[in-house]
Structure 1
Amino acid sequence: MQQSPSSPQSHSVSASAFDSAAQLSNLQQTYTVIPRVRPETPLLDGIATPSDLNDFTTAQLITLADELRLFLLYSAGQSGGHFGANLGVVELTIALHYLLDAPKDQIVWDVGHQAYAHKVLTGRREQIGTIRSKDGLTAFPERAESAYDTFGVGHSSTSISAGLGMSLALRYQGLTQTVACIIGDGAMTGGMAFEAMNDAVQQDADLLVILNDNDMSISCSIGGFSRHLAMLWESGYQVDISDAGEPILCRRPDMQTFDRRKRHKEMRDVPQLEDNLFKAIGFTYFGPFDGHDIPELLRVLSIAKQLKGPVLIHIYTTKGKGFAPAELDPVGYHAISKLPVETENDAQSKATEASDITAASTVTTKPALKYSQVFGQFLCDKAVTDDKLLAITPAMEEGSGMIDFARRFPERFFDVAIAEQHAVTLAAGMATQGVKPIVAIYSTFLQRGYDQLIHDVALQDLDVMFAIDRAGLVGEDGATHAGVFDLAFLRCVPNMLIAAPKDENECYHLLNTCYEYQGCTAVRYPRGTGTGAVITQPAQTYNIGEAVVESILGNDTAPKKLALLAFGTTVATAQQAAQNLISEDASADCQVQVVNMRWVKPLDSALLESLLAQRVTHIATLEEHVIMGGAGSAVNEYLLNESPAFKRHHPIICNIGIPDRFIAHGSPAEQLADCGLDIDGVVKQLKQLLS
């Protein structure tokens, strides 16, 4: 971790320099409105690469922090995206790029929610408005995007492992570059982070870990680790760092204006601060320090980066720092949508809307529910009638639609923090004791608990239900968050049942069906709103593995008969594509049956045999999932290996889904079009099949 003497950016800040600049540390501004016009940022505009910071004074760095924060507010208003965490690390990002020689020195961000400021300072300032849009910047660090993005991220708790790998490889090659990992308190709850810290001590690696403690991940941080960090902060003391890099136990500067926990607890004993978790593992620990105090950050980091061995610097920040609404509501401002376009008629429109509230209330159509809301409604409804229901989430209470359930049934709600592996095995343990656990988890994060799903749940055939949110493409969050592999990795596991609802109503009843089933089940549903389908009551229990013919379009005597087998929310696309296909078929030589398959495992083999008996000439499967190993593959496997009728009658088969590549970020519509899964793309592929 020792800085190379030849580094052009080997800055250090002495204690005396810190003292002389201390009065500057509270000059940062707080904003209350997201600007619609690009603000004037003269210092920021002069930065093409981080090396341009070399000649900045401390006062200029503080002014730069104001400019950068205001610019991030403006760009977020133009493009949307992650918000609070980025505002919280402005000062830290400036300090790191001032002190380190990136990209030679390696700066590794965890998750990437807080990397926007980093992107702005590393040559992507004028592109930041394209973030999360098709062909624009990615929402997270990505190696292909910039040499300054040392490691591609998106999932949490990976930075220390990746940074340790870099440090060991550099040591092996005789290189002395700094490796700095920035990890949040939420990401630190992931077990992978502790595995990496354990190994870093074992390897005696030169590694600088900066723990950004903002008391938040996306939801509020919970658990023993969060309480441990709170104890370190509330002790009123800190382990300071001397110019020689030695720990000095002292009273922490007055941080009353920074009390984001708003708690007043009795002072802890000083030895507890020294005997903290990180020191017990074997890290050299310093902190906690104010992460918004640039002079203090420069002083501490300039010394810490020269130390040997694993070092952890604990800083505390405010999520949403500098934007008053975000400081008050860090959950709501974790990410934001872009500002709506204002027109000259907006004021008049608002006045008209206000005068028409009473009349409009009588005709307004109820908006479609989000699938997460459907799940939340099911949870509450079922919990009222079944006291065996318990619900688990790995730090996704809000995203999974569980806020109401957690409020109404707190003793039955378990947020285990960012620990997907633990969440799955926790459910397995619960299931051995006669209760019914439901694991609410995003598809992309279930990948992290795959071994536990196989070994701890399915192998023992335990009664656990998985509510898999964010299945399919997820738009602007891009490839790191896409849930496009779950069918492939779930359907190959014995004892698993997998349901894929077409809309909100079917989602509600399939959740109930899988809940009532005794064994391992999964209900897979997408991000966002549904079709507007009304949820019928009471909850139904569908027949396991039974598909539904949605429509039959065209002439029964047509020479070409197509069976379009749609899985999940692609049923609506299939319906529209079939209608377009038939309306364009002037010769009326084609009939199309649209089938809502509803179940990926088990498949409705009886219906498939029925279709073959009707002498269908073509079969197409449709799914928002990778083609390889997906639901279409399941149909192929059945027809080729098990179907008696298929051996006598061979219809032409086509699988329509996501091709064998990672799908770049963009709007959901753009992603679907990119894969040929929009209506036009599906019609085109069906025409090719029929030709």
Structure 2
Amino acid sequence: MQIETGALLKNILYPSDLRNLAESDLEEVCKELRQFIIDVVSVHGGHFAASLGVVELTVALHYALNTPYDQIVFDVGHQAYGHKILTGRRDQFHTNRLLGGLSGFPKRSESEYDAFGVGHSSTSISAALGMAVASAYKGETDRQHVAIIGDGALTGGMAFEALNHAGIEKSNLLVILNDNCMSIDPNVGALKEYLTSITTSKSYNKFRDELVSVLAKISKNGPNAYGWAKKLEQSIKGTLLKNANLFESLNFRYFGPVDGHDVNKLAKTLEDLKHINGPKLLHVVTVKGKGYALAEKDQTKWHAPGLFDKITGEIKKTVYDKPQPPKYQDVFGHTLVELAESNPQIMGITPAMPSGSSMNIMMKAMPDRAFDVGIAEQHAVTFSAGLATQGIVPFCNIYSSFMQRAYDQVIHDVALQNLNVVFCLDRAGLVGADGPTHHGAYDIAFMRCIPNMTIAAPMNEEELRNMMYTAQLENMGPFVIRYPRGNGVMPDWKRQFKALPVGKGRKLVDGEEVAILSIGHIGNEVSKAIVNLNTEAIYPAHYDIRYVKPIDEDLLHEVFKKFSKIITVEDGVLPGGFGSAVIEFMANNNYSAQVVRLGIPDEIVEHGEQAELWSICNYDAQGIQDACKKLATIQTTHNQVG
């Protein structure tokens, strides 16, 4: 489908082209840019509402600043589509998130305009401050450094650590607070209420309208005039607001709130702020999904809706002629409620991902027992630890890649005290189009080295239910259950609960010559491979290990006593992963076998569909078949030589 480009936008390849336009053209540029995003995402997919909400801000930034010399750091980055389109990637934008195409997030290797690679929240202020300090050290006093952070990402502790540091530096840093009351789901917490109080203060809003330009002019008249103006400003702000301004107390110059959809006012404000030195914060109020009525109305649904009809708003879904298996996350959500109904000690915790993880199911059914703690993974883990000390069984549900952000808390606050916190790691393994910032590649490796830890991975929905059931039966200590993004394999998934003995796997298929050991959902690719191999008279055995730690040593003794050719398969990194655990067992028990490990290699895996990435990494059904046939061929060749 040919996407039409607006009359002004088609002539904007880079920000320098944008800066050649008159200010009177900026509103039209915004209209064309917003429509281009709608047109492309409706056909090709991707994140949606976030980028629509910052169209005017993006245009104003590239108009007022001298990018890429002036550096812009987006927080998370799913709102950077407009930025990509204006910075040389308009004609490639349709490849966004596709294998070999543009990344869905800013990426330094992709463009000089992407000052910092992002994907996780709350990093922008720290990164931009580092850049600003480096520029000051090099004497680049005219260089601007901007961090754009949402009010959701501002709930992350790292953002406050950076604000605290930035307040004592004199570096040229501008933090733009994109306040839309949303991350993926509606924001929660006291900070949200505080920002609301600022945006609804009519007296203060009237005062701030003239403040920015006045201070910009005063700053040109020398430090004495500037100091006098700063004292006056602080005095007035303290009078008009009920409480002292949080950002001012951290030594930031606070400006705003301003209308985030008035592109001319934004451009003028940014131009003025360039002349005010030191750390500054501009509070911009926007609407996520702005310009597309359905996205404005249901911002969570339209965060990343998939393909849709841009006219009717109908989200396109595949129609199946028979029941389909559910998403693992939905099995988790419904099972948690089912378990909580019979066990009053169960509570649910998620760091700002209630819909993404399906914790929203329990939040609706049992609002007093399920908590969205904001974008704060460290807090989520230690909060869970505190609950566990009081006999509560917390199911702490975090994306695998986000669990990386709370590693110290897992060790220090949970494992050292051997607390029964159940970590349900969603999006474990390669996740697909979100790419390397979101791949849940490392959890087996980094959890396996922690004492007191149990690590389990279900091969299907029934196993996920039973592992969750097992984890809450008695004080198990730290208990990890990892499962992938997407659908399972069992349409008829809701079976009666049964305990799965900790540290015990199962033999699915008996065989000869080669044994294939798998952990988790990827075992279904092994099953497919075996069916095909059997047609070629190759009959490998298949073992579903279930628990990486403690690993089933009785089962491994059986394997190594019978087989000298072994393949391990995991949807996780090979260094330190499940295959490494098997080899450690082999060495510790003086076995000798040829072991081939299949999994994520020791390199960064880019974005693409899950099946495409499994194939590239050679652990889809075809890759497993090839590895098995190679081992069988080696055996046959050796026999012929003998």
TM-score (norm. length: structure 2)? 0.91
| CA contact 1:505–1:533 (8 Å) conserved in 2 | no
| CA contact 2:514–2:563 (8 Å) conserved in 1 | yes
In the alignment, structure 1 residue 136 sits paired with structure 2 residue 101 = yes
Matched ranges for 1:534-553 at <5 A: 534-553=492-511
Which whole-Å deviations, capped at 9, do the CAs of 1:23-76 have from their partners, x for residues lacking one?
xxxxxxxxxxxxx75234010010111011223122211000000000000110
Whole-angstrom distance in 2 between the partners of 1:180 and 1:269:
26
- Cα 1:672–1:53 shift into 2, 3 Å: same
In the alignment, structure 1 residue 101 sits paired with structure 2 residue 66 = yes
Whole-angstrom distance in 2 between the partners of 1:341 and 1:73:
7
Correspondence for 1:437: 394
Correspondence for 2:246: 277
Q: Alignment partner of 1:139: what SS?
A: coil
Q: Which amino acid aligns with 1:530?
A: G
Q: Alignment partner of 1:243: what SS?
A: helix
Which whole-Å deviations, capped at 9, do the CAs of 1:178-203 have from their partners, x for residues lacking one?
00111111110001011001101122
In the alignment, structure 1 residue 473 sits paired with structure 2 residue 443 = no
Correspondence for 2:225: none
| CA contact 2:26–2:264 (8 Å) conserved in 1 | no
Give 1:230's match in structure 2, choosing from 166, 190, 196. Answer: 196
Cα distance, 1:85 vs. partner? 0.7
Matched ranges for 1:239-250 at <5 A: 239-240=208-209, 241-245=212-216
Whole-angstrom distance in 2 between the partners of 1:317 and 1:272:
21
Whole-angstrom distance in 2 between the partners of 1:603 and 1:413:
32
Matched ranges for 1:10-409 at <5 A: 38-176=3-141, 177-236=143-202, 237-238=204-205, 239-240=208-209, 241-245=212-216, 271-272=240-241, 275-339=244-308, 365-409=322-366
| CA contact 2:147–2:174 (8 Å) conserved in 1 | yes
Whole-angstrom distance in 2 between the partners of 1:104 and 1:620:
51
| CA contact 1:420–1:446 (8 Å) conserved in 2 | yes
Correspondence for 2:515: 563
In the alignment, structure 1 residue 520 sits paired with structure 2 residue 492 = no
Q: Which amino acid aligns with 1:681?
A: G
Cα distance, 1:273 vs. partner? 6.1
RMSD over equivalenced CA pairs, Å: 2.2
Which whole-Å deviations, capped at 9, do the CAs of 1:123-168 have from their partners, x for residues lacking one?
1001000000011000000000000000000000000000000000
| CA contact 1:545–1:603 (8 Å) conserved in 2 | yes
- Cα 1:98–1:274 shift into 2, 3 Å: farther
Cα distance, 1:516 vs. partner? 1.9
TM-score (norm. length: structure 1)? 0.85
In the alignment, structure 1 residue 459 sits paired with structure 2 residue 409 = no
5+ residue gaps, structure 1: 1-35, 251-267, 354-359
| CA contact 2:462–2:495 (8 Å) conserved in 1 | no
Give 1:678's match in structure 2, choosing from 615, 620, 634. Answer: 620
- Cα 1:195–1:42 shift into 2, 3 Å: same
| CA contact 2:73–2:116 (8 Å) conserved in 1 | yes
Which whole-Å deviations, capped at 9, do the CAs of 1:256-305 have from their partners, x for residues lacking one?
xxxxxxxxxxxx99532672211111100011000000121122111112
Correspondence for 1:631: 578
Whole-angstrom distance in 2 between the partners of 1:651 and 1:544:
26
| CA contact 2:453–2:549 (8 Å) conserved in 1 | yes
Whole-angstrom distance in 2 between the partners of 1:517 and 1:496:
15
User: What is the aligned residue count?
Assistant: 607
Q: Alignment partner of 1:619: what SS?
A: strand
5+ residue gaps, structure 2: 217-228, 635-642
Q: Alignment partner of 1:81: what SS?
A: coil
Cα distance, 1:103 vs. partner? 0.7
| CA contact 2:458–2:521 (8 Å) conserved in 1 | yes
Which whole-Å deviations, capped at 9, do the CAs of 1:382-423 have from their partners, x for residues lacking one?
111111111110000001111221011111111110000011
| CA contact 1:501–1:598 (8 Å) conserved in 2 | yes
| CA contact 2:514–2:631 (8 Å) conserved in 1 | no
Q: Alignment partner of 1:410: what SS?
A: coil
Q: Alignment partner of 2:91: what SS?
A: helix
Cα distance, 1:536 vs. partner? 4.4
Q: Which amino acid aligns with 1:460?
A: Q
Whole-angstrom distance in 2 between the partners of 1:200 and 1:269:
22
Whole-angstrom distance in 2 between the partners of 1:550 and 1:432:
39
Whole-angstrom distance in 2 between the partners of 1:141 and 1:269:
38
